[in-house]
Structure 1
């Protein structure tokens, strides 16, 4: 364990450990490493969709060069360097996340247009988190307003990401393996950065190229509002995948949460900390999880503790500023209040937390003290889902910008001897 750690050094250490986790799963390096190990020997047409789309495409370019004959890159607003992509001759489209917009429909049309072009050139498909909302071709009778209503309901429902993606698949002609109907027998290499528990292929990006034969039965296990369940039943026939199993491309995981956690642990050990790398997946309520983890840090031995996962927040009708990581961190700050030598970082690996430009927050025993006299109440901020406003005032928000990856969230605790 490092000796004579100061509060400033402790915060810097946690941020360094978090950044090391991100670098291990950054899309460019992950894709380049895979293609170096398993080189493609023919020209390809490339499709990259997700928050890490450009980063993954850059990794493909690094290894394949001009063998990429044509490219389509679809990502979240602000996550594409259009000048770079134009220099490669790639078409770029930006759309919305986590709720689709009209540009998501345009991206869906562009995707089908590329796949319908008469050519037998093999495909390289790169998928990362966010693909579910960034590109869409809905079933008949579903328009943008209905999709927005559905996604807004899902994001506040408390359902886990796998269940939410079942619903998204049910309203789509391309999710749940539906996009296979447009491959026309072409050889396809499918690489993904996993943003789902257990790296389940059918759940990553809502399984654009991974069929889910039991989808209807799974939808029937969910408690959904009538207006939504009725539409899902009506669209069952439009979701039929007409491709034999032997033509389904295997999905190759090039980066995931475990890799990020391991890299973070290696960095912490290299810095001289005792490290506890937790295998448990964090998927409960963000507020309860934040309190529990802060308590574990306080009661545990000195050193670094690393968790990963994706917690949930049940949103009020008019939520404030923040996301699940900021919510978790503020709840932890209440438990840590007045305790010296204990900190907790909770942040998304994609650089965004909920509908904000912040990745998360790093709190300590003085977080709430720093906002004394400013009119804040942590409990009220949590009830209003407005953790971000308080954490901005306390100076505890983490802002990274787009990271080129998305493997859910990292949570890192530190207890040090004073």
Structure 2
């Protein structure tokens, strides 16, 4: 193996994964034919402005539209309006954005075409509380979901039953126009109905399922929300609704494609690559321990994979928030747990990052870790386990100088994890694995 700079190598894999989700090429391959009537572009998500700008470079007919992106830098567009709202907790600007999308698709004919540009993050960006509920109610729901530890599919099942726009309702509002949804997936399994809570893609989930999820994860929701979920008004349109008969849905970018691209790049650089899965879910710190056990086994026993190797995985882990919490996101929490469990083992280097460039509440995508990370955190600040206990992984990696800050990427295919195992170091074996 050619000697590598581990962090430069891992960064190159992340950048390759992000390029594989490039919106321009992804949209180019899935553009529909021009309609006899009008073309209306709508969209929402962390990649909304980038998708809109890509569409404008490719479409040579007439069009108009509006998309909703998160607050922060956005791509410049010519004719598609870009509105902005808050993520991960909704704000009043999101109400304006949701109404703008509903207005954009109202009064259309069967000759018109709606192109929906959907990416992850749209659930928070599009608050639209149903009659009898308020923005504060939807914020309370969102906060409870984020703190619950529920997988994204469960969270979005609840969200789409407490909304006027999610769960296919935006597409139904466009009827009788045809809706073509181009989806950048950030959910394990790539079910487009779960991306951004499916504003243009219905599914068969029910309000009864939403209530079971609330109970199973012991969420404390406002009384008005619980009353709504028990009412007929919570029912979402079903996939066999006639309003969706002519619609099309295309997943144009996903974690699977990005991980495969990263694996190919690793092999080009002379390192064998293994993709564990693009659908890993679970508590971030537990998934971190599982990855650490695998990395140690390879580093110390050369099994189940031979060194040198990079282990890749994706999906969406969760963090169950307690009463005490600090700064960070699921990728940095995963990596802090991982770093603690590989402490003292040389030859392991890892990067965990969100492909949208932002992990949680701060400006980092994630962080780097190796066998010396825990010691660096301990020397620079305090016991890394105390940071993990209070969900403050950002502060731990910031103290150690190990944050990964590429900036917003303009796409979002969820978590990216890459673990490079370079060599066997025997002296740490006794401390970590039984003989």
TM norm structure 2:
0.88
Paired position in structure 1 for 2:302: none
Which whole-Å deviations, capped at 9, do the CAs of 1:102-148 have from their partners, x for residues lacking one?
01111011112211255653111110001111123211121111111
Once the two structures are overlaid, the 10-residue window that deviates more, 157-166 or 399-408, is 399-408
Paired position in structure 2 for 1:72: 66
**C-alpha deviation, 1:280, in angstroms:** 6.3
Aligned residues: 407
Does the CA-based 8 Å contact 2:192-2:198 persist in structure 1?
yes
Matching residue within 245, 268, 280 for 2:266: 268
Paired position in structure 1 for 2:6: 10
Change (3 A) 1:233 1:4: closer
2:54 paired with 1:56 = no
The correspondence of residues 195-206 of structure 1 with structure 2, limited to 5 A, is 195-206=186-197
Instruction: Give the Cα separation in 2 of the matches to 1:250 and 1:205.
Output: 17
List runs of 5+ in structure 1 lacking aligned partners.
Answer: none
Instruction: Give the Cα separation in 2 of the matches to 1:232 and 1:272.
Output: 57
2:172 paired with 1:181 = yes
2:388 paired with 1:382 = yes
2:104 paired with 1:98 = no
**C-alpha deviation, 1:63, in angstroms:** 1.5
The correspondence of residues 19-418 of structure 1 with structure 2, limited to 5 A, is 19-35=15-31, 39-40=33-34, 44-65=39-60, 67-81=61-75, 84-85=76-77, 88-117=78-107, 120-222=111-213, 223=215, 224-225=219-220, 227=222, 230-237=226-233, 239-241=235-237, 243-244=241-242, 247=245, 249-279=247-277, 281-300=279-298, 301-302=306-307, 303-417=309-423
Instruction: Give the Cα separation in 2 of the matches to 1:123 and 1:245.
Output: 13
SS for the counterpart of 1:310 is strand
Change (3 A) 1:136 1:416: same
**C-alpha deviation, 1:245, in angstroms:** 5.5
SS for the counterpart of 2:148 is coil
Does the CA-based 8 Å contact 1:322-1:388 persist in structure 2?
yes
Instruction: Give the Cα separation in 1 of the matches to 2:221 and 2:102.
Output: 31
**C-alpha deviation, 1:234, in angstroms:** 4.6
Instruction: Give the Cα separation in 1 of the matches to 2:121 and 2:266.
Output: 29
Does the CA-based 8 Å contact 1:176-1:209 persist in structure 2?
yes
Change (3 A) 1:288 1:148: same
SS for the counterpart of 1:311 is strand
**C-alpha deviation, 1:76, in angstroms:** 0.5
Instruction: Give the Cα separation in 1 of the matches to 2:30 and 2:172.
Output: 27
Instruction: Give the Cα separation in 1 of the matches to 2:357 and 2:57.
Output: 24
RMSD across aligned positions (CA): 2.0
Instruction: Give the Cα separation in 1 of the matches to 2:118 and 2:250.
Output: 10
Does the CA-based 8 Å contact 2:207-2:230 persist in structure 1?
no
Does the CA-based 8 Å contact 1:48-1:73 persist in structure 2?
yes
List runs of 5+ in structure 2 lacking aligned partners.
Answer: 299-305, 425-435
Instruction: Give the Cα separation in 2 of the matches to 1:55 and 1:128.
Output: 10
Instruction: Give the Cα separation in 2 of the matches to 1:347 and 1:21.
Output: 11
**C-alpha deviation, 1:177, in angstroms:** 1.3
SS for the counterpart of 1:279 is coil
Change (3 A) 1:299 1:118: closer
Change (3 A) 1:284 1:241: closer
TM norm structure 1:
0.92
Instruction: Give the Cα separation in 2 of the matches to 1:49 and 1:355.
Output: 20
